[in-house]
Structure 1
């Protein structure tokens, strides 16, 4: 939509279509559109963001955004923390562990973990069934394949993966082997960060651990 600003978008479950309200930037009028698919091409992950964190400026190691990650082998035998359980965070943690880093990942929020095959199946089912039904199938398959991950520090959200994508724009994590490393203990799951003191990172459970490097793989602006 040229010279249009999207003001509101919602998905109609019954019609299986997106309803979009857009403003004509020339006339100021509100226009309504309907489509089967809605593609967000505004760069939702284009601007790296590092939050304000108490003591961050005192960290004696290397602190980088995940967009700066290049080579896992650089961190062999080093204590490395990845902050964020999205797809980039999970993949970076896997690369680091595969290259001999002593890897930890801080997971703050409940997270859906699915295989790519599950997601493809879900997308196919969405053509014929409601989001609620598809989500039940996805959660069942996730439990069968991965088991109970809560004992490893990963909590499954109360809401389904496809509902969360539609409602909040939150993607499920596509597992590429990270879960296996977590279960084996090669990747340690830690809670949210609270503060930093020199090389020590303090977590919300009150425990602290030293790290040589931290990769922030949290949300983008």
Structure 2
């Protein structure tokens, strides 16, 4: 069945009160972007640069809420800033190679102001599904507000919701257990013995931060670390880059830095433990049978996609992990005007690449619908095309 004109929708609503009336009870906008993180803001900026306005819906109260509300104080970009630029706007020259958390937040906020991107905050999207009869994506929020658009950009990203592993005994442990999304600094753990679960970037940085506050961090690693193999590569790289430094009074060690730290105890992470079997009142039991006391536990177990909880579409996105089924660089476009950004597993660089592609594709569709209008496009949306595409 072909999509309906706005007038036809009015007629159906007159005979069926359950049929939603777009321009009375539903706000119809141009592209809807769900998520005001760097990825979503990047798409909105790329669209704005082409003369196309968009509606950005954000469940939190600010732009880049992951960085503003759920990141620890010492966080910096893990890659040089040139690999983390958003489209059309480099970092200020005065910023260091690895910008700090406040600097990155300032950059994203300035970026949004530059392109006049104004998200609607506290809009927690609970459902988005395609209305084949109307040819629109219908987006509903927890507050009961409904929006509709020809194009929907999923920009909630890889880190929408915290991931907390199932570990027996959470309720029995007597000390604090917190996810890194709630961790700010090691000040609250000064002098304490802390078990850090997870050895990704966050886990390693939290361990270092705890050391700076004289805490004693112990790291849980489910799989054995490839210390010997990594050390061989590091020793080879050091010899190729630095050469023989013995004549300078700087003899190279015979073992690699990872093994050296492990042997001498000079590593900031004092101990590495296998997987946790269960928690008990004052500590943890491990899969190798050992048990040890701890005063606090920090879960550096990362995040997960929230897409399966609200997007009623299963062709583009996987129900299992909430990621696009097709890998980068082909993960950005679905069907019926559906797009994804921030799911490349390549950080801001991948998001920027996809943001440009999405904006260009939407612009092409706008132009086609403007030049060859058909009954498949509601007239109210075509009026927006006329205004937004005039400068492109």
Q: TM-score, normalised by structure 2?
A: 0.31
2:202 alignment counterpart: 88
Does the 8 A contact of 1:62 with 1:213 survive in 2?
Answer: yes
Residue 46 of structure 1 deviates from its aligned partner by 2.4
- SS of residue matched to 1:45: coil
68-77 or 85-94, larger mean C-alpha shift: 68-77
Match of 2:219 among 86, 105, 113: 105
Deviations 1:169-208 (A, max 9, x none): xxxxxxxxxx79x951442211111111111201111111
> Aligned runs of 1:195-214 on 2, under 5 Å?
195-214=278-297
Cα gap change, 1:206 to 1:112, in 2 (>3 Å): closer
1:193 paired to 2:273: no
Aligned 1:122-133 pairs, distance under 5 A: none
Q: Distance in 1 between matches of 2:224 and 2:158?
A: 21
Q: Is 1:105–1:189's contact at 8 Å kept on the other side of the alignment?
A: yes
> Is there any run of 5+ residues in structure 1 with no aligned partner, and where?
4-24, 28-39, 114-137, 153-178
Looking at structure 1, the residues matched to 205 and 226 of structure 2 have their Cα atoms a distance apart, in angstroms, of 15
Alignment of 1:1-221 (within 5 A): 41-109=155-223, 141-142=233-234, 144=236, 147=256, 149=258, 184-187=266-269, 188-221=271-304
Counterpart secondary structure, 2:272: strand
Question: Runs of at least 4 residues of structure 1 off by over 6 A?
Answer: none
Q: Does the CA contact (< 8 Å) of 1:85 and 1:111 recur in 2?
A: no
In the alignment, which residue of structure 1 is the partner of 2:96? none
- Paired residue secondary structure (1:57): coil
Q: Which runs of 5+ in 2 are unaligned?
A: 1-30, 33-129, 133-153, 239-254, 305-392
Flag the structure with higher strand content. Answer: 1
Closer/same/farther in 2, CA of residues 220 and 112 from structure 1, 3 Å limit: farther
Whole-angstrom distance in 2 between the partners of 1:218 and 1:44:
13
TM-score (norm 1): 0.52
**SS of equivalent to 2:289:** coil
Deviation of residue 109 (structure 1)? 3.0
- Alpha carbons 2:231, 2:257 under 8 Å: kept: no
| Separation (CA, whole Å) in 2 of partners of 1:26 and 1:109 | 46
Once residues 155 and 221 of structure 2 are traced to their aligned partners in structure 1, the CA distance between those partners, rounded to angstroms, is 27
Higher relative contact order at CA 8 Å, sep ≥6: structure 1 or structure 2?
A: 1
Measured after TM superposition, the shift of residue 97 of structure 1 is 0.9
Deviations 1:96-125 (A, max 9, x none): 011100111111135689xxxxxxxxxxxx
Q: CA shift at 1:81, angstroms? A: 0.9
Does the 8 Å CA contact 1:80/1:213 hold for their aligned counterparts? yes
